[in-house]
Amino acid sequence: MLKLYNTLSRKKEEFSPLGDNVTMYSCGPTVYNYAHIGNMRAYIFMDSVRRVLSYNGYKLKGMMNVTDVGHLVSDADEGEDKLVKAGREAGLTPLQIAEKYTGAFFADLAKLNINSPEIIEKASDHIDSMLDLVYNLLDKGYAYRTNDGIYFDIAKFPTYGALSRQKLDENIAGARVDVNSEKRHPADFALWKNAPKEHIMQWPSRFGQGYPGWHIECSAMGMKFLGESFDIHTGGVDHIPIHHENEIAQSEAATGKTAVKYWMHGEFMQVEGGKMSKSLGNVYTISQLGDMGYSPMDFRYFCLNTHYRKKLNFTFEALGGAKTAYDRLINLLLEHKAGGNKLDEGQKAAYKSEFLAAVNDDINIPMALGLLWTMLKSLFSRDIYDLALNFDRVFGLGFESAVVLKEAKRTEKARANDGCIDGGAGDPLPQGVSDLLEQRSLARKNKDFAQSDKLRGEIAALGFTVLDTKDGQTIKRG
Ligand code: AMP
Ligand code: ZN
């Protein structure tokens, strides 16, 4: 039974979808810059939810928006549009900015084995749907007009604040009085803003030229593609108090229905215990990590090791640890692939059900990884390799291709090693011996001395003596 933590109830709830397909909306990127590793943590979380659902046999209808208009520098309707600002600074149009960073974003998703949702839509393609929603809210009396645009009247929606557990009469996050003195409540938010003549992105409406607020985009697009009520909505914890609160208010005021059954939020990634910020110079991208020698799978493994509802502190030391662990994992998988032991059916079923119980407990991937390690440290068995590949449908850590790559590298190395008896002076080593040597070197690296001794015995049986020196292993015939 799959259980998901619902931010709305602050409880783990049993998952039961509204229809045949699981409908899931994920707030997508605002494409004004390269996505950073914190953003990527958010999408690895989205991907894990999707993978667990698929593993449970559900068919997915997921969607992600790409915000290319309306997201102002502050979430609370202040400042310039982020894309307009980035365009002005780079001497490009907002459209060029959007194209550049949308491309880079999806390239990063692919590198990280994040399966893109089934539906991807740009906000600027759906201005009509957003306007329809604004008209609807005005007609129903949930919105009002001011001199700079149309605002949502939160006092008309008494449950406003339920997701973030804030009361209307308290200081609501994101509330700003000074933005527009005509606002009825400081936390009323813009649905539509009038565009001054020089504003680059603007569209005609009943109220003249303008552009949509950021929040209305997710309500309008979610409803359009997934229906008035859908199963799951994901985003980062920063979205809880403003963006998602506003989304609930807009959607539910317009339709009178519950918009989302399960609200799921991923915790933030911090860097060296603090906020990631450009001014601190600690905002990294996947490409930058790549240049420093950390692969996308090293980073993915690093993220998966911490539950999505816990803060994750990024340090290069921790990423380095993840890299070593991932490498070790692939080496062990390689041994299992060639392993001769058999698991009995009961053991296989037990591993599988333990795995399912972990991932179905609110996507507990760290626990599932723990189980994988326990499995890999037992007898070398092809059955374990097969189970690991099955689990990798959820992990998405590219086990199969990484193992193939490693095998190819080993073969290459073994060939290069041939002729290295006694430091290179003797006859070429038989392939089987160099393979065993390679495995033994790995076992020693992993401090698996029992395995290392066993391999020494196997090498001896083939007529060679292996000696350990401070520079590693050397081998002598006889
Ligand atoms: P944005 O492009 O700013 O709209 O953000 C895209 C996604 O990344 C959103 O779901 C945010 O909640 C999430 N996000 C932003 N910063 C971080 C961070 N430091 N850690 C985790 N998620 C983040
Ligand atoms: Zn959104």
Q: pLDDT tens digits, the chain, 478 residues: what are they?
A: 999 999 999 999 999 999 999 999 999 999 988 999 999 999 999 999 999 999 999 999 999 999 988 676 665 566 777 888 888 888 888 888 889 999 999 999 999 999 999 999 999 999 999 999 999 999 999 999 999 999 999 999 999 999 999 887 766 666 655 567 789 998 899 999 998 888 888 999 999 999 999 899 999 999 999 999 999 999 999 999 999 999 999 999 999 999 999 999 999 999 988 888 777 788 999 999 999 999 999 999 999 999 999 999 999 999 999 999 999 999 999 999 999 999 999 999 999 999 999 999 999 999 999 999 999 999 999 999 999 999 999 999 999 999 999 988 887 776 666 545 444 435 667 767 877 888 888 788 778 888 888 889 888 888 888 888 877 788 888 7
Could you give the CA distance from residue 328 to residue 95 in angstroms, rounded to a whole number?
Answer: 44
Nearest ligand to the C-alpha of residue 234?
Answer: 1
Atom of ligand 1 nearest to the CA of 312: 20
Give the amino acid at 29: P
Helices (H), 91-171: 94-111, 127-139
Cα of 78 from ligand 1 centre, angstroms = 19
**Ligand 1 first shell, C-beta below 6 A:** 27, 29-30, 38-39, 41-42, 235-236, 238-239, 266, 268-269, 276
Per DSSP, 239 falls in state G
Q: What is the pTM of this model?
A: 0.86
Cα of 28 from ligand 2 centre, angstroms = 7
DSSP per-residue string spanning 63-86: EEEEB-S--EEETTTEEEEHHHHH
For 443, the token pair is 């076992």
Strand, helix or coil at 336? helix
Cα of 236 from ligand 1 centre, angstroms = 6
Cα of 353 from ligand 2 centre, angstroms = 35
